[in-house]
Amino acid sequence: MWSDICLFLAYIVILLLLAWPLSSYVAKVFEGQKTFMDPLLRPLEKSIYKVTHIDSLKEMDWKQYCGALLIFHLLSFLAIFITQLAQGFLPFNPEGQIGLTWDLAFNTAVSFVTNTNWQAYSGETTMSYFTQMTALTTHNFLSAATGLAVAIALIRGLTRKTTRNLGNYWVDMVRGTLWILLPLSIVLTLVFVEQGTIQNLSPYATATTLEGAEQKIALGPVASQEAIKMLGTNGGGFFNVNSAHPFENPTPLTNFLQTLAIFLIPASLVLAFGRLVKDNRQGRAILATMLLLFVLFLGAMYASELYGNPNLSALGVGSPNMMEGKEVRFGLGSTVLFSTVTTAASCGAVDAMFDSFTPLGGLIPMLQIMLGEVVVGGVGAGFYAMMMFVILTVFIVGLMVGRTPEYLGKKIEAHEMKMAILAVLIPSFAILVGSAIACVTDAGTSATNNAGPHGFSEILYAYVSSAGNNGSAFAGLSANSPFYNITLGITMLLGRFGVIIPVLAIAGSMAEKKTSPVGAGTFQTHGGLFVVLLAAVVLIVGALTFLPALALGPIVEHLLMLKGQLF
C-alpha cells in the first residue's frame, strides 16, 4: 500500500514540475511571442495559410469563430465517414479490411471529430492502416487543437476590453497543432518505440502456439497513434483492449508516461491561463481545485479496490481478489491511477475494465465524467468546462454578499449565467434522456451482459462517456448496433458542441465589457476559500443531477454486494 501511495505522490509532483515550464511555452505560443520552435515552424505555418488562403491577421467575433469551428468539424466528419466506407479500396490495407456499415461509420466519425474516441469496434479487426492513420490519428490532433482554441478564445474574452474580437480560429488551431501537439507527440512516440511499442506497416504476423495452432498477431503504426491518443486526451486505441495490450503499453515506464501525458497539457493550460491574465494565482487556484477533486476520487477508488469484493474472500480467494479485473503487469496502484486519470481527463484510454471493478470502484470513473470532465479534464475542454463552474460559483457568492458578481474585474450578468447553465445542463440532459430511452427499449436492454443494477450501470456509463466526450467503455455492453451507434453519436455531438457554443457566446459577451477596479468588497478568486467553494459547487451540482441515477446503479449494487448478491 505504501508503495502505491508513493507512486501517487510522485505522479502529482512530476506532473507539476513538467506542467509549469510547459505553461510558459503555451502562453507564448498563443500570445504570438517568440519561441525556440519558431525557426522551424513559422515557415510551415505561413505555407499552410498561403495554401488555404487564410488571412492570419483577420480576427473573428464569437459567431464567426464558432461558425468556422462548426464548418471545419462538418467537413472533418465527412472526411472520416467517407474514408471508413471506402477503406476496402484504399491503400495500406494489408489485411483487406472492408468498408464499415453506415451506422458504425457515423458513430466513429462523430466520435473522433468530438474528441470522444468511443470505439464500438475492434481496431485490429475493423480498421485498415490507412484509416487508422489518415482519418483517426489525424483527427486526434485536430480535435484536441480545437479544444485548445476554444479555451484560448475564452481566455481572450476574459482579458480583452470593449472589443468583439476573440482571435482567429484557423490560426489558433494551426498553432496548437504545430507548436504544442505535434512536437510533444514526436518525442513521446520515440520514447514509446524505444520501450517496445510497435510502429510498422507490416502485414499481420502468424505464429504457431505451443498447442500447434496458428495465431494471427496484429501489427501496425501503433506508437504514433498512442502518443497523440494520450497527449490529446483522445483515448482511441489501435487495439481493442487499448492500453492493456503490450504492443500499446509494453512496460511500467510507458504506463506511467501515458498517465503523465494525459494530464500534461490540460494542467499546463490552466497554469498558462494565470500567465495570460497576468495573475498566476488565478491559474493555481483552478488547478488546485482540480487536483483536490482528483485526490479525493483517486483515494476513493483505491480504497474500494484495495478492500475488494468480500464475496471472493468468503470463497477463500483472500487478498488477491483486489487484482480481479486489474492490469496484473503493473499492479493495483498503477491500474487505479491510470483509471482515475483517464476518466478525470476525458481521455478514455484504459488498461483495465471498469466492468470488473467493485461497484464503488466503477462509480468513481462514472462520477468524474458526470461532473463535466472538470477534474483536470481534456485538452482545453477541461479548462473551459471548469470555467462554467467558476461563473456559477462567483454568481452564488455574489448573491450571498449582495454584490453584482464579478470575475477578473468583469461583471457576470444574466446572459453569462444563461449560457453557463446551458453548458452544464445540455450534457446532463443527453445522459439522462439517452439512458432512459435505452432502458425502456429492447434494442437498449438486449445489449447488456449483466442483469440488475450492473446492467443499468453498463447502459448509463455508455451515455455518460459519450456526453462527457471521454470514450472509455464500462465493458459488458454490445454497443455496435444501429440503436447505440446513432443515439450515442447524437449524445457525443450534444456533449461537445452543446458546451462549446455557450462557452464561445460567453467569451464574446465578456470581451465587450469593461474591467471594473478591484474594491474592498471584491471577492478574491485566488485563495483557499475560493478553491473550497468551487469544489463544493462542482460536487453539489453533480450530486443533485445524477445521484438518483447512481443510486439505481453502482450504489444499490454495492449494498447488495455486501449482502452477498452478485450480478
Q: Do residues 188 and 257 lie in contact, with contact meaning Cβ atoms separated by under 8 Å?
A: yes
Whether residue 520 has pLDDT greater than 70: no
Q: Mean of the pLDDT values across residues 432-444?
A: 94
Q: Which phi and psi angles does 383 have, rounded to 5°?
A: -65, -50
Domain assignment of residue 120, yes or no = yes
Whether residue 212 has pLDDT greater than 90: no
Domain assignment of residue 110, yes or no = yes
Note the pLDDT of residue 286. 96
Q: Do residues 422 and 502 lie in contact, with contact meaning Cβ atoms separated by under 8 Å?
A: yes
Domain assignment of residue 207, yes or no = yes
State the sign of the Cα–Cα–Cα–Cα dihedral 186, 188, 191, 195: negative
Please report, to the nearest 10 degrees, the dihedral formed by the alpha carbons of residues 85, 88, 91, 95 taken in order: 130
Whether residue 142 has pLDDT greater than 80: yes
Note the pLDDT of residue 246. 92
Note the pLDDT of residue 186. 96
Strand partners, 406: 411
* Digit-coded pLDDT (tens) for 463-512: 999 999 998 888 888 889 999 999 999 999 999 999 999 999 999 999 99
* Digit-coded pLDDT (tens) for 344-402: 998 989 988 888 888 999 999 999 999 999 999 999 999 999 999 999 999 998 888 77
pLDDT band at 340 (very low <50, low <70, confident <90, very high): very high
Domain assignment of residue 109, yes or no = yes
* Digit-coded pLDDT (tens) for 20-60: 999 999 999 999 899 999 999 999 999 999 999 999 999 99
Note the pLDDT of residue 366. 93
Strand partners, 407: 410
Domain assignment of residue 155, yes or no = yes
Cell numbers 459567431 label which residue? 63
d(CA 435, CA 462): 8
Quote the strand ranges of 71-223, DSSP E. Answer: 205-208, 214-217
CB-CB neighbours of 58 under 10 Å: 11
Domain assignment of residue 423, yes or no = no
Whether residue 176 has pLDDT greater than 70: yes
Q: Would you tell me the crossing angle of helices 528-550 and 381-401 to the nearest 10 degrees?
A: 110
Whether residue 92 has pLDDT greater than 70: yes
* Digit-coded pLDDT (tens) for 248-273: 999 999 999 999 999 999 999 999 99
In eight-state DSSP terms, residue 552 is I
How many alpha carbons lie under 13 Å from residue 194 in its C-beta half-sphere?
8
pLDDT band at 319 (very low <50, low <70, confident <90, very high): low
pLDDT band at 437 (very low <50, low <70, confident <90, very high): very high
Note the maximum CA span of the chain: 80
Whether residue 515 has pLDDT greater than 80: yes
Which is higher by pLDDT, 449 or 68? 68
Domain assignment of residue 21, yes or no = no
d(CA 70, CA 515): 31
Of 390, 449, 453, 455, nearest to 416 by C-alpha is 390
Confidence (pTM): 0.93
* Digit-coded pLDDT (tens) for 264-311: 999 999 999 999 999 999 999 999 999 999 999 999 999 988 888 887
Q: SS3 of 426, please?
A: helix
Element (H, E) at 411: strand 410-411
Note the pLDDT of residue 325. 73
Domain assignment of residue 325, yes or no = no
In eight-state DSSP terms, residue 120 is S
**Mean pLDDT, rounded, of the chain:** 92
Note the pLDDT of residue 492. 96
pLDDT band at 322 (very low <50, low <70, confident <90, very high): low
Q: Mean of the pLDDT values across residues 321-343?
A: 85
Q: What percent of the chain has pLDDT over 90?
A: 75
Of 160, 143, 180, nearest to 62 by C-alpha is 160
Cα-only R_g, the chain = 23
Number of domains forming the structure of the chain: 1
Note the pLDDT of residue 183. 96
Strands 406-407 and 214-217, by their bridges, are unpaired
Q: Cell digits for 143?
A: 480535435
Cα angle 309, 314, 320 (rounded to 5 degrees) comes to 55
Whether residue 129 has pLDDT greater than 90: yes
CA distances from 242 to 124, 180, 325 (A): 11, 24, 14
Least confident interval from 62-71, 313-322, 424-433: 313-322
Q: Would you tell me the crossing angle of helices 222-231 and 182-195 to the nearest 10 degrees?
A: 130
Element (H, E) at 436: helix 414-439
For residue 246, which amino acid is it? P
What residue numbers bound the domain in which 66 lies?
Answer: 54-265
Q: Cell digits for 562?
A: 455486501
Note the pLDDT of residue 236. 84
Q: Do residues 546 and 428 lie in contact, with contact meaning Cβ atoms separated by under 8 Å?
A: yes
Q: Do residues 226 and 248 lie in contact, with contact meaning Cβ atoms separated by under 8 Å?
A: yes
